[in-house]
Structure 1
C-alpha cells in the first residue's frame, strides 16, 4: 500500500482553503448586496415597483360654456354616446360588427377601418366604433347586448352649438388636436396628448382657449404586467373651464341674419354708451356642429367654393372701400383744420376737373352750389373732391384713425382687419410710387386705397354720435365676474363741428330729398340718422360714360357695386350705432339702408315695432306681412338690459 505524500496533502489543503475563502467572499458579497437591496434601499425599490403597477391617466375637464348677454346658451357641452369594442372579448370580430351594423349606421368601409385598428392594438385595448349616437340607438344596442360580445356603450361630453349658424363666425368651433397644435411650444398642456381631445379652432373658442379649457383631472389605476387595467384606485375630477358671457344679443343676432338671408352681407351693431357689440353677423353662415362631428369633403368643398364666402367673417375681417360713408371723416377733418365752414358752398356741375382728367359725381347733372349739410344729404361727390384736395390726405387719414378706421381693434377674434388709411409715405413704401392729387380725390369719397370693415364703420358712427373714443368689446363677463367697459375719453373734436355732421346725417334719412328717406323711422322719439354709401369694384371707362354707364342690375353679380349704410339712433339721445354692407348689392339706399333700418327698429322696439314707426307708405305691407306670419314668442329683455 502506497503511503500518502505529506507535501501533496499540504498542497490540497491550501487549495481547499483558498476555494473556501473565495466562496465565502462571494456568499458574503451576495449577502451584503441582498441586505442593501432589501433593507437599506427597500423604500426606493418599493416605489419603483408601485410605479410599474400604478398608472396615472389624465381626465379631460368639462369645457367652459358660452352665453349671450342675457344668459342664453350659445356653446354648451352635451352628452356624447359612443360605442367601443375590445378584441379579446369580442370573439368573431366580423360577426360582431355585422350584428352591430344591423342596429346602427356602420358602413362597410368604417367596419374595415375598425378591424384594422383592432388588429394593430393590444387585445385588451378598447377601440371606438362610432360616437354621437342617439339615445334610441344606444337603447337598441343595450337590448341586444348578448349578441354583441365585447361591445360597450359609453357616455362623455362633446361641444354643441344650439344656435347653429347664428354665432358661427364669432364663437367658432372646436376640433381634434393636430400635429401643429402639439408643436406649439407656448402650449405644453398635457391635456393635448389625450386621444380625441378637442380644442378651439376658430373664433372665441380659439382665442379664449386657455380660459375655456380648464384643468385636467387624473385617475390612478392598477395594471398587471401586461398592462391590462385591473381596477381604479383613486379618481380626481378636473377643473371645469371658465364660462364666458358675450356682449352679443342672441335675438338681435338671429334677426340680423334672417334679415340678410340670401345676401352676401354683414351687419354690426354697437351700444354707443359702452362699446358692447350687440350684433356681429356675417351672411351666409355655416353650422359649426358639422366641424365638431366631422365635416364631409363634399360639404367642405361646397362651403369653400361658394361665391358668397360663408366661411369668411365679413363683419370684422372684410375690408371694403367705404364709399360715401367715409364723407363724414373728410368733413370733420376739414372742419377741424378750418379749411371749410358749414355754409361755404362748392359748385357741382357733375364732375371735378383735375388737369385733363374728370372725376365724376354720381349725379350726372350735378348738384349745383352745395354746402356741408347738402353735401351729406345729397351725397355730392364733387363737394368732397374739392374739400379733400384742400385738406390733404394726411389730415384725412389722421381723422380716420381718430374715428377708429385703419386701427386693428383688440378683440378675441381671429383675422381682424386693420383696414387701410393711406398716406403719402405708405404709397411710397408699399407701391414705390409718389402720391398723386388724384389719389386724394378718390380717398375723399371713400374709394381708391381706403379700406374699412363693417366693425370699423359702426365704430366710426358710434364715435361721431357720442363724441367719445368708444372702444368695442365682446366679452362681458368671465366666470360670472363682469369685465369693465373700457374707458372712452372725449374725442377732442368740437361739439359744434360734430353737430354739423350729425345734422347732415339726420337729413340723409329724414329730409325730403335725403338719399335714405325711404328707410326712415317716423317715431319722433326714435328718429334715425345715417349715411348711404356705394363703393365701386370696377373702373368705369370714358367710353362707357360716353354711351351710358351700365346699371348694376345689367352687370354680372361680381361686378356690381357694394352697398353700404351707417346709422345711429335715437338722434337726440344715441343708444345704438350700426353698419351694414351688402356685397355687390348696388346702391346703399336701396340694398343696405332698408336692412339697417329694420335691425335698428328691432334694437329700439323689440320683436314687434309699432306700425306708426314705419313710413306711411310701408304700413299696409307690414300689417299684411304680420297677419300672414305667426307671432314671434319672445320674452327677451330690451337689448342692453342686464339679466346675466
Structure 2
C-alpha cells in the first residue's frame, strides 16, 4: 500500500485534537477533584453542621399560663389538660384529601375546613397546626382507629384555660383566644407564632397578658427529608407565667350577684376608699368564658352579639348613664368651692323654676321651701341645684367633676373602660358646634342633659368624698409572683397614700353630712332598717345618695294624664341609682349601684346598696387577711 502525504497530515491533525481534548478533560477532572477536596476535606465541618441543622429542628414549647386567684386565694382562672388533634403536611401536598378525611371524622364545617386548609398550606418546616381542641374520649378513639389513613395527624396533650366561676367573674377575668395580628402588634415574642398559643382577649387575662404568659421552652427533634418528626432528642420546659392575686373577694362577689339577679340588667361596684381596691364588681347579665376556652361556635357568638341585654358588655366600666341626683354632690361642692354659695346660704324651691319660658320641675311638686346645701342634699331638692349650678357656672362644675373622676379613664387597667362625658363649654363646641346655654347648666346641676358616667366613676366619686378628698384610684391587682415565689396579699393600710384633691375639708364635711342625713331622715330614710326591718347596728351605719336618671322626658300632657313609670315599656323607664359609703364614723368602703330601667333609685337600687355595703362592712376584707389560702404549688 502506498503512503499518501494527505494521510499523514490528517493523522497529525487528529493527534493534536486528541491532545487538546485530553488536556481539557484533565483540567476539568483536576477542577472537579479540587472542588471535591474542598467540599469533603477543607469545608467538611461546615457542611456537616448544615446537614445536622437540616436533620434537627428546634421547636418552641408553649409555657404554662399563670393562675389568677381572688384575694383569699380561691381560683378564678386555672389550666386543665386538653387533648387536641394536630396535623402536619408535606409542604402543603395532599392537604385537600387530608382535610376531607378529617371532616368525615369531626364534621368540621366549611369555616373550619377553610381555616385548616389555609393553616396547613402556610405551615413551614412541617410545623403542626390545630385541627380540633378539647377532644372527648370518643373523638380520641375515632381518630386513633383511623390513624393509618391519616398521615401526619396525631394527638397532642396540651393545656387550656378553665374558669371555675363561669359567668360570675366573666367581665373581670375575661377569656383567652387565638393570637391575632392585632395581638402581635408591638410584641416580638416568638411563642405567639405557635398555633396552640392563646392570648388574653378581655378582662384581666388581657390586662396581665405579658406577665402571666410565661416564657417558652424548646424541644429538639430529628426530622426526615420532608420535615416529619422522627424522634425527640432533647427538651427544655418553659417558665410558667406569674400567678396573680386580684382584689376581688369571691364570696362577696357571689353575694352581690345573688342580690342583683332579680333585675334584668344592672351593675354594682364596691371599692376600698383608702387603697382603691375593687372588692366586688358585678355586671349583669354576663357570659360563660369557658365557651371561648373550648372554642365558641358561630351560633353561640351570634346569640351573644344579638342579645339586647349585651352580656359581653361590662356595664360597670363601659356602661354610661346620666348620674341623676347622685351628681348633686358635685354641683354642691363646686358651688361651695367657688363661693357661689356659703354653708348657710338658703335658696327657694317653689316646685319649679322658669328659664326662658321653659319650666324646670323639682321632683316634689309642692316644693321644698327654703333649704341650705345640707338640707338640699338630704331632700334631693332639684330647684336648689338648678340655682346652685347657675351661680357656680359650668366651668367650675366641670373642674370639680373632673377632679372627682368623671370624663376620664381611671387607672383600673381593664380594656373597654369608657370615659363617660363630663360636659364643658369646649366639649359642646367641639362635639356639637354649639355654644353653652343656661338650660344646659340647669340640666347638669341635677346630673342630666349631656352628663354621662359609668358605675365605676360613681364609685370613685363616692370614695373620694368619703376619704376626705384624696385622689384614690381603682385597682384590681393585689399581688403577683412567679411560681417559685410566695404569693401573699400586701399588709393592710389605714391611711390613703393618694395625693390630695385640695378641696376645703369643711366643704367635704358638709357633703358627707348631707349624705348621712339622706339615710337618717331624707330620701332614703327607709334604708335605716335592714332587710329584716331591724334598725341597723351603729357600727354599720352608712351614708348615701339616691338618684333617678331620666331616660324619656315626661311631657306636660303625659304628666297631666298621670302616666307613671310602670305604664311605660321597660326600655323607656328611668334608671335607678344609689351611691353610699360606710361606716359613717370611719369610712372604709364605697358602693355604687345602677339598675337599668329600675324606675326609682331609693326604692330599687337603694336596698341593694344597703345590703351589699352592710355585708362588706361585716366581712371587712381589706383589714382581714386571715382568710387567705396559700396556693398549692403546681
Q: Given the two structures, how large is their TM-score scaled by the length of structure 2?
A: 0.86
State the Cα distance separating 1:506 from its structure 2 match.
Answer: 0.6
1:53–1:336 Cα change, 3 Å: same
Report matched runs for 1:480-491 at 5 Å.
480=487, 487-491=497-501
Aligned twin of 1:372: 373
SS for the counterpart of 2:164 is coil
SS for the counterpart of 2:76 is strand
Kept after mapping to 1: 8 A contact 2:130/2:195: no
Kept after mapping to 2: 8 A contact 1:85/1:127: yes
1:86–1:489 Cα change, 3 Å: closer
Q: Give the alignment partner of residue 554 of structure 1, picking from 556, 567, 591.
A: 567
Aligned twin of 1:499: 509
Alignment partners' CA distance in 2, 1:499 and 1:55: 70
Kept after mapping to 2: 8 A contact 1:352/1:382: yes
State the Cα distance separating 1:641 from its structure 2 match.
Answer: 3.1
- Let me know the Cα RMSD of the aligned residues: 3.3
Aligned twin of 1:166: 168
State the Cα distance separating 1:515 from its structure 2 match.
Answer: 2.9
1:34–1:287 Cα change, 3 Å: same
State the Cα distance separating 1:289 from its structure 2 match.
Answer: 0.7
1:477–1:638 Cα change, 3 Å: closer
Q: Give the alignment partner of residue 581 of structure 1, picking from 578, 594, 616.
A: 594
For each residue in 1:307-328, what CA deviation from the matched residue of structure 2 results, as whole angstroms up to 9, or x when unmatched?
A: 2221111101111111000111
Alignment partners' CA distance in 2, 1:40 and 1:482: 64
Alignment partners' CA distance in 2, 1:462 and 1:126: 52
SS for the counterpart of 1:353 is strand
Aligned twin of 1:190: 190
Alignment partners' CA distance in 1, 2:276 and 2:579: 16
Aligned twin of 1:447: 448
State the Cα distance separating 1:54 from its structure 2 match.
Answer: 1.3
State the Cα distance separating 1:425 from its structure 2 match.
Answer: 1.8
Aligned twin of 1:531: 545
Aligned twin of 2:609: 596
Report matched runs for 1:242-321 at 5 Å.
242-261=242-261, 262-321=263-322
State the Cα distance separating 1:419 from its structure 2 match.
Answer: 1.6
Kept after mapping to 1: 8 A contact 2:406/2:420: yes
For each residue in 1:540-594, what CA deviation from the matched residue of structure 2 results, as whole angstroms up to 9, or x when unmatched?
A: 222223333x211111001100110000000000110010000110110011011
State the Cα distance separating 1:113 from its structure 2 match.
Answer: 5.5
SS for the counterpart of 2:167 is coil
Kept after mapping to 2: 8 A contact 1:267/1:279: yes
Alignment partners' CA distance in 2, 1:108 and 1:186: 33
1:329–1:233 Cα change, 3 Å: same
State the Cα distance separating 1:359 from its structure 2 match.
Answer: 0.5
For each residue in 1:477-513, what CA deviation from the matched residue of structure 2 results, as whole angstroms up to 9, or x when unmatched?
A: 12248789994122212222111111110111122x4
State the Cα distance separating 1:471 from its structure 2 match.
Answer: 1.3
Alignment partners' CA distance in 2, 1:191 and 1:378: 60
State the Cα distance separating 1:520 from its structure 2 match.
Answer: 4.7
Correspondence 1:515 to 2:524: yes
Aligned twin of 2:227: 227
Q: Number of paired residues?
A: 598
Correspondence 1:56 to 2:38: no
State the Cα distance separating 1:335 from its structure 2 match.
Answer: 1.3
For each residue in 1:50-73, what CA deviation from the matched residue of structure 2 results, as whole angstroms up to 9, or x when unmatched?
A: 222112222111111111112211
Aligned twin of 1:215: 215
State the Cα distance separating 1:24 from its structure 2 match.
Answer: 1.8
1:211–1:108 Cα change, 3 Å: closer
Alignment partners' CA distance in 2, 1:405 and 1:111: 44
SS for the counterpart of 2:168 is coil
Alignment partners' CA distance in 2, 1:378 and 1:131: 59
Kept after mapping to 2: 8 A contact 1:516/1:532: no
Alignment partners' CA distance in 2, 1:37 and 1:272: 76
State the Cα distance separating 1:11 from its structure 2 match.
Answer: 4.3
Alignment partners' CA distance in 2, 1:640 and 1:96: 60
For each residue in 1:71-106, what CA deviation from the matched residue of structure 2 results, as whole angstroms up to 9, or x when unmatched?
A: 211011111133568999xxx9999989x97xxxx5
Aligned twin of 2:432: 431
Aligned twin of 1:202: 202
Aligned twin of 1:540: 554
State the Cα distance separating 1:179 from its structure 2 match.
Answer: 4.7
Alignment partners' CA distance in 2, 1:306 and 1:111: 23
Report matched runs for 1:113-124 at 5 Å.
none
Q: Given the two structures, how large is their TM-score scaled by the length of structure 1?
A: 0.85
Report matched runs for 1:146-161 at 5 Å.
153-161=155-163
Aligned twin of 1:420: 421
1:80–1:541 Cα change, 3 Å: same
SS for the counterpart of 1:245 is strand
Alignment partners' CA distance in 2, 1:230 and 1:520: 74
